[in-house]
């Protein structure tokens, strides 16, 4: 099958970007990573992408008067690479309606919680403070509601006695690296789409996200 052209947006280490790019290069994920874009020139993930011979671009917010102006420039930059899917991989900016409209139904994000719990930041800290026994990660379509777009796929992650934010984060990241490529694969193969404000998988609306049950630590 032909490979779906994608653009990946990062702000930091880009570990999910790396996993997606590695699987694409290895042939197990039918996508073509056309460009990796960051709002942070020092983002470590840019070096990772460059080492994999992926085109990288930087667009710094400080060079623009406001968020709408930045997002218009971001749209123009990304459209040069004609992606069919935008993959947000730790891109730490709230996107404007202009950006979301330009790529409507074609933006996926991975969020480190079992949405709708813990939208926004500091999800691991909040899960620990709430004494949750199960935490997790969600892949969702991006809409104007922050972390509120239709959720496609989730993985549960156990919260273990003695967990810190760092140990819990590491376990959640392992789950991210499993399920984000899976959701991207579904989209690339035409199995997943956003229609009428709902996620559809294999021709049926998802009344609830596909849920991967909790795995043992290290799994």
pLDDT per residue, tens digit, the chain (219 aa), is 799 999 999 999 999 999 999 999 999 999 999 999 999 999 999 999 999 999 999 999 999 999 999 999 999 999 999 999 999 999 999 999 999 999 999 999 999 999 999 999 999 999 999 999 999 999 999 999 989 999 999 999 999 999 999 999 999 999 999 999 999 999 999 999 999 999 999 999 999 999 987 664 443
Confidence (pLDDT) at 218: 41
Same domain, 5 and 90: yes
Cα 79 to Cα 190: distance, rounded to the nearest angstrom: 21
Q: Which domain holds residue 29?
A: 1-103
Same domain, 195 and 140: yes
Strand locations in 56-167, DSSP E?
56-58, 85-88, 107-111, 134-141, 151-158
Q: Which of 72, 103, 134 is the last residue of a domain?
A: 103
The C-alpha R_g of the chain, in whole angstroms, comes to: 17
The burial of 76, by beta-carbon neighbours within 10 Å (0-12 exposed, 13-18 middle, 19 or more buried), is given as exposed
Same domain, 59 and 134: no
Helix (H) or strand (E) holding 147: none
111 is a catalytic site residue: yes
Q: At what angle do helices 165-188 and 15-26 cross, to 10 degrees?
A: 40
Q: Which of 54, 76, 103 is the last residue of a domain?
A: 103
Same domain, 114 and 218: yes
Same domain, 65 and 14: yes
Cα 89 to Cα 103: distance, rounded to the nearest angstrom: 16
Residue 32: give its domain's CATH number.
3.40.50.170
Cα 114 to Cα 60: distance, rounded to the nearest angstrom: 31
Q: Which of 67, 85, 103 is the last residue of a domain?
A: 103
Same domain, 114 and 64: no
**Long-range contacts from 21-25, C-beta under 8 angstroms, 24+ separation:** 21/49, 21/52, 21/54, 22/52, 23/181, 25/52
Same domain, 51 and 10: yes
For residue 11, the number of C-alpha atoms closer than 13 Å in the C-beta half-sphere is 9
Same domain, 216 and 145: yes
Domain count, the chain: 2
Same domain, 114 and 209: yes
DSSP, collapsed to helix, strand or coil, labels residue 10 as strand
Which is catalytic among the residues 111, 124, 135, 140?
A: 111
């Amino acid at each position: 099958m032909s490979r779906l052209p994608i653009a990946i947006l990062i702000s930091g280490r880009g570990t999910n970007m790396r996993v997606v790019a590695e699987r694409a290069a290895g042939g197990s994920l039918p996508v073509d990573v056309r460009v990796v874009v960051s709002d942070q020139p020092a983002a470590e993930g840019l070096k990772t992408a460059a080492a994999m011979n992926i085109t990288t671009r930087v667009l710094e917010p400080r060079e623009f008067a406001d968020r709408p102006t930045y997002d218009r420039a971001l749209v123009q930059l990304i459209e040069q690479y004609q992606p069919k899917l935008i993959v947000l991989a730790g891109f730490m900016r709230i996107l404007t309606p202009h950006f979301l409209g330009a790529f409507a139904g074609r933006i996926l994000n991975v969020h480190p919680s079992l949405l709708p719990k813990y939208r926004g930041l500091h999800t691991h800290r909040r899960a620990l403070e709430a004494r949750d026994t199960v935490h997790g990660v969600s892949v969702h379509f991006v809409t104007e509601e922050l972390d509120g777009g239709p959720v496609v796929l989730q993985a549960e992650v156990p919260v273990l006695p003695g967990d810190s934010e760092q140990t819990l984060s590491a376990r959640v990241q392992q789950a991210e690296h499993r399920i984000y490529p899976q959701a991207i694969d579904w989209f690339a193969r035409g199995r997943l789409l956003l229609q009428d404000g709902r996620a559809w998988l294999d021709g049926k609306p998802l009344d609830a996200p596909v849920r991967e049950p909790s795995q043992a630590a290290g799994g």
